C-alpha cells in the first residue's frame, strides 16, 4: 500500500484558486505598473511551486522514479498519466521560469505581461482536475 500525503497535496490544491484569480486579475487589468509586475511575478512563482510540490508528493507517495529536476517532476507525472500531453507542454514552460523568477529575478521584466499569465489559469484548473482524477483512480 502506498502512503500518499493527501493532506499536503490538498493544501496545495486549495491554494490554487487564489493563484488562478491573481493571474486572471493581473492579465485583465494589466497596465504595466510595478505593483502589477511584482504581483504577476509572485503568482507565476506560486503556480510553479504548487505544481512541483504536488508532483513531488505524487512521485514520493506512489513510488515513481526519482526526479532529477523540476522539469523531470513534470515529465514523471506526465508519464504516469496524471497530466496529458498539452498540459505537460504548458507546465514544462512554467517550471522553466523558476530560474528567472528565483535566481535571476533582478533581470525579470516587470513592465511586461508574461504570456503564461494569460495561459496558466485554465492550465492550473486542468492540473488540479488531473491530480484529483489520478488520486481517485489510484486510491479510490
Residue 17 CA to residue 12 CA, distance in Å, equals 10
Active site residue 98: yes
- Helix or strand (DSSP H, E) at 93: helix 85-95
Other beta carbons within 10 Å of 84: 11
Task: Give the contacts of 128 (CB within 8 A, at least 6 positions apart).
Answer: 13, 16
Residue 34 CA to residue 102 CA, distance in Å, equals 18
Q: Of residues 42, 93, 96, 98, which has the active-site annotation?
A: 98
Burial of 127 (0-12, 13-18, 19+ CB in 10 A): buried
Residue 92 CA to residue 50 CA, distance in Å, equals 13
Residues with a catalytic annotation lie at 98
Amino acid at each position: 500500500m502506498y502512503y500518499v500525503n493527501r493532506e499536503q497535496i490538498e493544501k496545495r490544491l486549495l491554494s490554487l484558486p487564489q493563484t488562478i484569480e491573481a493571474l486572471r486579475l493581473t492579465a485583465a487589468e494589466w497596465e504595466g505598473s510595478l505593483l502589477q509586475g511584482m504581483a504577476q511575478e509572485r503568482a507565476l512563482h506560486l503556480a510553479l511551486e504548487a505544481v512541483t510540490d504536488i508532483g513531488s508528493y505524487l512521485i514520493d507517495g506512489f513510488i515513481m522514479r526519482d526526479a532529477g529536476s523540476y522539469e523531470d517532476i513534470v515529465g514523471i507525472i506526465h508519464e504516469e498519466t496524471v497530466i496529458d500531453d498539452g498540459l505537460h507542454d504548458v507546465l514544462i514552460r512554467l517550471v522553466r521560469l523558476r530560474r528567472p523568477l528565483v535566481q535571476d529575478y533582478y533581470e525579470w521584466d516587470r513592465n511586461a505581461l508574461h504570456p503564461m499569465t494569460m495561459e496558466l489559469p485554465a492550465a492550473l484548473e486542468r492540473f488540479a482536475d488531473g491530480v484529483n482524477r489520478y488520486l481517485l483512480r489510484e486510491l479510490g
